Amino acid sequence: MTIVRFMGSPAGRLARIVAGLALMAVGAWLAGPWWALFAVGLVPLGAGAANVCLLAPLFHAPLRPATRQA
């Protein structure tokens, strides 16, 4: 459950965005059939941009982290 809590934090969101960009960069750099890696990188990039943790339903947690009220 700690991974889901981390992914719901701002640091986890940034990690998903960076991981997506890294996968996309490697896929574009290697080219050829590795373009599929570019497409796979869109998933964590989109999840980070939308602030959604795709692993959360596997752990019976909400898809979106709870927002804090000030």
pLDDT at residue 67 in the model: 67
Q: CA–CA separation, 56 vs 70, rounded Å?
A: 25
Domain ranges of the chain: 2-59
Task: Indicate the burial class of 41 (C-beta count within 10 angstroms; 0-12, 13-18, 19 or more).
Answer: buried
Query: How does pLDDT run along the chain (70 residues), one tens digit per residue?
Result: 788 888 888 899 999 999 999 999 999 999 999 999 999 999 999 999 998 888 888 888 888 877 665 5
pLDDT at residue 17 in the model: 94
pLDDT at residue 34 in the model: 92
pLDDT at residue 29 in the model: 95
The tokens describing 34, both together, are 């590795």
Phi then psi for residue 3, to 5 deg, are -65, -40
